[in-house]
Amino acid sequence: MITQGDVMRERLFWILKNHGISDRIAKAFLEVPREEFLTRHYPLSYVYEDTVLVSYEDGEVFSTSSQPSLMAMFMEWVDLDEGMRVLEIGGGTGYNAAVMSRVVGKKGLVVTVEYFEEVCRIARENMRRLGIENVVVVCGDGYYGVSDFAPYDVIFVTVGVDEVPEHWFCQLKDGGRVIVPINMKISARQPAFLFVKNGSHLEGGYKLETRFIKAGGNLGNLLERNRRLLRDFPFQKAIRVPRLQVFVELVDLLTRRLAEMNGIFYYAGPEGTVEFLNGEMRIYGRAPEIESLLSQWEECGYRSFEHLMLHIGYNAVSYISCTI
């Protein structure tokens, strides 16, 4: 017997197809009842619209079910396929993990991490109730990843984070992919980036603008953590920098050492501090990493990150390429 839910899921399938989503991904949305992951009631006709829905809210904690077409595009960009092992950060009540579990199949695994305990408990119950056995729900700070099930083919991030931490990098297979919305601290934007692990670097670039809930824990407090790294060094020199805000965003992405104090942004380096203010950077001590990035950026015509290839180093020097 065909139910209203079946009809509505079929409608969502064709919405996704109209967005250019492959059958392999779109069919997974046919198999998972989205309404089962919502703690408030919506008409089914609204549940299967291509829209963000509130999945949990208690006055303090807020969780959403992301726009299906955006999640489907993320799945396409990371080449999600059968047999893959996925680490999802920001699992919410579990809908996206459940859909991905259908794509990776019985030979694959989705490990999803949720920061808020009650939301995590609901996600676990949803998987149990629906008999979804290839999803592991972990409660905790996604900053640390989940090493027990590493290495992963894909890291799939559905919250806005301040960085791609080294824990994730170490848990990702070489050649593995990361799709991640990153909180830009100076502009309050949240662009999504697609990276591929290549040796000691994550390489990739900008995909599109997003607006996810910002992550809790260590994934959402990088400026505070880096503030503790600021040290006093003797003043060395000042350098005028065109499009300073654009350069500071590159520093944020490539070094993961941006700090803020009293409304002023700094690079908190191991050998020096750089202050970004009034169209110039003031170097205290030594900051070879920043001077090298500035030189590369000048060679690339002072382009914004949307038009550059980023090479983020882990125990290696980060750099930019002009061609994407």
DSSP per position, 81-105: -TT-EEEEE--TTSHHHHHHHHHH-
What residue ranges in the chain does DSSP mark as E strands? 53-57, 62-65, 85-89, 109-114, 135-139, 152-157, 172-181, 191-198, 201-209, 235-240, 258-261, 264-268, 272-277, 280-285, 309-313, 319-321
Verify whether residue 66 is a known catalytic residue: yes
Contacts 24+ apart (CB under 8 A), 168-173: 168/87, 168/89, 169/197, 169/202, 169/314, 170/145, 170/314, 171/87, 171/145, 171/146, 171/147, 172/197, 173/197
Contacts of 83 by beta carbon, 8 Å cutoff, 6+ apart: 104, 105, 107, 108
Question: Could you say which of 55, 66, 101, 318 is catalytic?
Answer: 66
- Integer Cα distance of 201 and 90 in angstroms: 24
Q: Which residues are catalytic?
A: 66
